[in-house]
Amino acid sequence: MLKAGQAAPMFVLPDADMELIDIARFQGRSHIILFFYPRDGAPCCTLQATDFSDHEDEFARLDCQIFGISPDDCLKHAEFRDEHGISVCLLSDEDGMACRQYGVWQEREVNGVRKSGIVRSTFIIDKQGVLRLAQYGVNAKGHALAMLRAVKELNS
């Protein structure tokens, strides 16, 4: 698992419109929030993505780009975005490369059965490409506002 103070792993992933997004291109220009979530359409995942979207303008005023990442494909992301009015950029990590880089693909036990999957996690990367916050196992409710406060502290 990653920790604050480390250099953030860089990657290139397609968004819901199948355009490649290289997060390294934001270095020197914007802070980045990455929120990893298990799948499009699940209640907590929908809450998290819409909550970040509801506060996107406030994040933008703080020079902050937001990216939601799950293993769902681009078409599923586009349907999810359009159905729920999600405005933040959703990235498709179908092969799990970014999930492994950020340590969010983990094994856990559910009802006595060991399964692998995404642990809901959020990372704040500063303009220099350094992780300022790494949170694993986050609760979706109220999380976007907590991240907004964290970015405000980063800017002060």
In this structure, what token pair is assigned to residue 51?
A: 């909550």
Residues forming a β-bridge with 35: 68, 122
> Which is catalytic among the residues 45, 64, 74, 89?
45
Residues forming a β-bridge with 130: 7
Note if 89 is an active site residue.
no
Taking the CA atoms of 124, 35, 21 and 52 in sequence, report the sign of the dihedral they define.
Answer: negative
How many other β-carbons are positioned within 10 Å of the β-carbon of residue 131? 20
Among residues 29, 19, 23, 26, the alpha carbon closest in space to that of 10 is found at 23
Provide the H-helix boundaries in 8-142: 43-54, 56-61, 74-84, 97-101
DSSP helix/strand/coil, 62: coil
Q: Which residues have a catalytic role annotated?
A: 45
